[in-house]
Amino acid sequence: MATDMAKRFGKVAVLLGGDSAERDISLETGHAVHDALVAEGIDAHAVDTRDTPLTFLLEQGFDRAFIALHGRGGEDGVIQGALEVLHIPYTGSGVLGSALAMDKVRSKRVWQSMRISTPDFVEIVDATDLGVVEERLGFPVMVKPVHEGSSCGAARVEKAGQLEAAWAASRQFDDRVMAERWVVGAEYTASILQDQALPLIRLETPRVFYDYEAKYVADDTRYLCPCGLPEKRERELNALMLQAFAAVGASGWGRVDFMLDEQGTPWLIEVNTIPGMTSHSLVPMAAAQAGIGFNELVVQILETSLSRDSLRQGVRT
């Protein structure tokens, strides 16, 4: 079996680390992925893109790449485009899907055009937009960078006097910042694997919201899977999440985060095209509920690179 795996996938580079704000999480994800692939008999090697030029992949004869990079430079289409130029097949979404999903404003506009509910928002370009936020959205609002993940730079703002400071804090992570209407309700996430939605997870935290601390550090975050919704309702929501995922051009695997308000209406928040694969991560939890172990999950994600094998001959898919 190990020999078959090695032959099927060839030499695999697990791209990790990088230099985004999510570097530490990427290192944890990447090493977990690398260890799982090696355990399955696959010739996998960890490659930190911060310290290694991508030409190294050609020089060392890698056959494909498992992208375990989070945030900008890894999740926004940049690394995907570079790998296409190098004719190296890779996991997950392509250039367009990665770039569009990473841009929270543009992905929301796509959903709005399809009449998929997503909270109203205002992009804060300059100080004059602060008044627009109050007038159009009211308070509270969520202020966050347009191109960051893991809740980096995100904050709940309760009143107008806090808005400018939150905007300034978010700008430390990204030149583009948005304010989003706060949805009162329960938070859920839908994991996507090879065009199938895994069981939903309901997230509960005593913190103000599911922030970086709640995601990666705190021990009091609760992950409910099964999520507690009726089976029919869960199927309906998963179908909607698959639609939203495809709408932004995402493919292969990923995660869609959404809220259910007090009336039961779903509100799309964002798509993650390279979710975490750490001890606190959601996709492995959902996969386990579906009977898919961690190593098997990692192999199935690696399989998403097979659809791009024509890149080896320089033919775009």
Share of the chain above pLDDT 70, in %: 91
Among 255, 281, 305, 308, the active-site one is 255
Active site residue 40: no
Taking all residues of the chain, what is their mean pLDDT, rounded to a whole number?
91
Say which CATH number the domain at 172 has.
Answer: 3.30.1490.20
Q: pTM for this one? A: 0.90
The reply to whether 207 and 113 lie within a common domain is yes
Of 141, 165, 181, the residue at which a domain comes to its end is: 181
d(CA 136, CA 117): 17
Catalytic residue among 90, 210, 212, 216: 216
Strand 222-224, strand 201-204: pairing: antiparallel
User: Is the predicted pLDDT of residue 25 greater than 80, yes or no?
Assistant: yes
- The active-site residue, picked from 17, 18, 20, 22, is 22
Range of the domain at 170: 121-181
User: Taking residues 244-270, what's their average pLDDT?
Assistant: 97
pLDDT at 279 > cutoff 80: no
What was the pLDDT predicted at 317? 39
Q: Is 22 annotated as catalytic?
A: yes
Q: Choosing from 191, 238, 272, 281, which is the catalytic residue?
A: 272
B/e letters for 280-298, b = 16+ CB within 10 Å, e = fewer, are bbbbbbbbebeebebbebb
pLDDT higher than threshold 70 for residue 51: yes
- Rounded Cα distance, 291 and 274, in Å: 21
Residue 263: CB atoms within 10 Å: 6
Does residue 188 have an active-site annotation?
no
> Which range among 2-16, 160-174, 203-217, 244-258 has the greatest average pLDDT?
244-258
Q: Are residues 27 and 139 in the same domain?
A: no
- pLDDT given for residue 149 in this prediction: 63
Would you call 255 a catalytic residue per the annotation? yes
Q: What is the pLDDT of residue 315?
A: 43
| Domains held by the chain: number | 3
The confidence band for 310, taking pLDDT boundaries of 50, 70 and 90, is confident
Confidence at residue 71, expressed as pLDDT on a 0 to 100 scale: 87
